[in-house]
A = this chain, B = another copy of it.
C-alpha cells in the first residue's frame, strides 16, 4: 500500500504536498530483512496500475523477490494518510482501504508451494483484518506454512480502526496451533486477551493461554521481552529521537526474524529494538539499514558523528 503524509509540523487538512512512502506491515518486514542481507519473498495482490507498480519498484530496489505477487485489474491500491504528530498532538491515520486488490484475493489465487518455500513465513493480524475474508486467508497461510515446514511467525499488530478486540483475539486463537513464534504488544496482550502484569508475565501467560512455546512481548520505550522455550529474555529500548514512529513495530519484527535465523532469542530482541529505533530515525515506514549499521546500534557502538 501507499502512505501519504504531510511534512513534519503540517496537517492533512491544510498541507500543500503529501510525501509518498511504500508501506504495509509484511512489506516493511520484507524490505528490512532484505536490507540486512536476508533473502526475502513478499506475496500479495496489487492493481496493475502505476501505483501498484510503484510498490514493486520499491520492494525490488531493496532486493525482495516478487515472483508470487498477483496483478489484478479493476481494484484499488490500499492507501493511508498519516499525519506525523508532535506531542501532545498524536500521530493520526486515515485508512483508505475499501475495495483493494488484496481484499479481492482468495486462497485459490495463490501457489502455496511457492509462497511457503522459505525458512520462515511471516504473517500479521493487521492483514487478517483489512477486508472481509482476509482472516480466512491468513489462517490458511498459517496452516500452509506449518504443513510445508516453514517456521510461522505471527505478529498480532492490533488496529482499532480495522477490527474489534474480540475479532482480533479470535483470529489469533484460531491461528495459534500453527504459530511457532508470536509477537504481541503488551497493550494488545491486555486489551485482546485480558492479561495483566509485567511484560514477562504477559509473555509467559500468552504462551500458556495460546499454547505457543515462543512469545515476544514489546512495550515501546520499555523494550521487549520473550518467553522462549520456557525461559525469559529481555532487551531494553534504545534512546531514540523519533522522527517518525510508524513502521517501528515492523522493523522490530524484522530484527526478531533475523535473530531467529541467526542465533539466540537475546540476539533477536536486541536486533529488534535496534531496528525499531533506526526505523523511527527516518521518515517513512521502511527500515533500510545494512547489517553493519544495525549491529553497530545493537551493540551500542558509534559516535554521534562518523567521519
Contact = CB atoms under 8 A, between A and B. Distances in A.
A98 B51 CA distance: 15
Interface in A50-87: 50-51, 53-54, 57-58, 60-63, 76, 79, 81, 83, 85-87
A238 interface: yes
A283 B9 contact: yes
A282 B16 contact: no
Contact of A297 (B15, B89, B238, B277): B89
Interface string A281-307: 111000010000000010000111111
B9 A282 contact: yes
Given A88-B297, A246-B305, A17 B15 contact: no
A76 B13 CA distance: 15
Given A17-B20, A76-B96, A88 B238 contact: yes
Given A13-B50, A16-B16, A88-B238, 13 more contacts: A8-B243, A10-B282, A12-B50, A13-B53, A16-B19, A86-B243, A86-B281, A87-B281, A88-B278, A88-B297, A92-B305, A245-B304, A245-B305
Contact of A50 (B11, B54, B60): B11
Nearest to A74: B98
| Chain A interface extent, by class | 35 or more
Contacts of A11: 50, 282, 288
Contacts of A86: 241, 243, 281-282
A171 interface: no
A12 B96 CA distance: 18
A237 B274 CA distance: 29
Contacts of A277: 88-89
A60 B58 contact: no
B54 A13 contact: yes
Copies of this protein in the assembly total: 6
A203 to B, nearest CB: 21
A90 interface: yes
A165 interface: no
A86 B288 CA distance: 15
5 contacts: A10-B283, A13-B54, A13-B57, A91-B304, A245-B304
